[in-house]
A and B are shown apart, each in its own frame.
Chain A
Amino acid sequence: MRYFLLLALLLLGGCQSGFATSDYGSLPPTENDVTFQAESEISPSEQGVRFYIINAGEEPVFYDMGYEIEIEVDGTWKEIPFKDKPSFRKRDRKVNPGESFESAVLLEELEAAFEEGIYRVIVTMAMERDTEKEFMLASEFEVTSS
Chain B
Amino acid sequence: MRQVEVVTYKETWPEEFESEALRIHEALDQIPVYIHHIGSTSVPGLSAKPVIDLMPVVPKIDEVDTHSEGMQKLGYEAMGAYGIEGRRFFRKGGDRRTHHVHVFELDSPAAERHLAFREYLRAHPDVASAYGTLKRSLAETYPEDMESYISGKEEWIRTTEERAIRWYREER
Q: How many B residues, CB 8 Å from partner?
A: 20
Q: In the complex, which of the residues A86, A91, A93 contacts B34, with contact meaning CB atoms closer than 8 Å? A: A86
Known: A47-B106, A106-B57. A91 touches B30 (CB 8 A): yes
B21-29, B79-87, B121-129, B157-165: which lies at the interface: B21-29
Number of residue pairs spanning A and B whose beta carbons lie under 8 angstroms apart = 50
Please give 8 more A-B residue pairs, beta carbons under 8 A apart, in addition to A93-B30, A102-B60, A104-B106. Answer: A47-B57, A48-B57, A87-B21, A88-B25, A89-B30, A102-B59, A104-B33, A106-B106
Given contacts A48-B33, A102-B60, A103-B31, contact A88 B106 (CB under 8 A): no
The size class of the interface chain A forms with chain B is 10 to 19
Question: Is there contact, CB below 8 Å, between B18 and A88?
Answer: yes
**Which residue in B18, B24, B25, B172 is a CB contact (below 8 Å) of A89?**
B25
- A residues sitting closer than 8 Å to B (CB atoms) are 46-48, 50, 65, 86-91, 93, 102-106, 108-109
The smallest C-beta distance from A137 to any residue of chain B, in angstroms, reads 18
Let me know if B64 is at the binding interface, CB within 8 A. Answer: no
Q: Could you tell me if B60 and A109 are in contact, using CB atoms closer than 8 angstroms?
A: no
Return B33 CB to nearest CB of chain A, in Å: 4
Main secondary structure of the interface of B (DSSP, over half): mixed
Of chain B, the residue at the smallest CB distance from A114 is: B172
Docked-complex contact B26 and A91, CB < 8 angstroms: yes
**Cβ A88 vs Cβ B21 within 8 A:** yes
17 contacts between A and B (CB under 8 A): A47-B111, A47-B112, A48-B33, A48-B106, A50-B59, A50-B106, A86-B34, A87-B21, A88-B24, A88-B32, A88-B35, A93-B30, A102-B31, A103-B33, A104-B106, A105-B33, A106-B106
B107 within 8 A of A: yes
Selected from A48, A50, A90, the residue in CB contact (under 8 A) with B22 is A90
Instruction: Tell me the smallest distance from the CB of B70 to a CB of chain A, in Å.
Output: 14
Residue of A nearest to B20 (CB): A88
A140 to B30, CA, bound (A): 24
Residues of A within 8 A of B172 (CB): 108
List, in ascending order, chain A residues with CB within 8 A of B31's CB.
102-103
Chain B residues whose CB sits within 8 angstroms of the CB of A103 once the complex forms: 31, 33, 59
Chain B residues whose CB sits within 8 angstroms of the CB of A93 once the complex forms = 30
- Give chain A residues whose Cβ lies under 8 Å from the Cβ of B26: 91
Collect the chain B residues with CB atoms within 8 Å of residue A91's CB: 26, 30
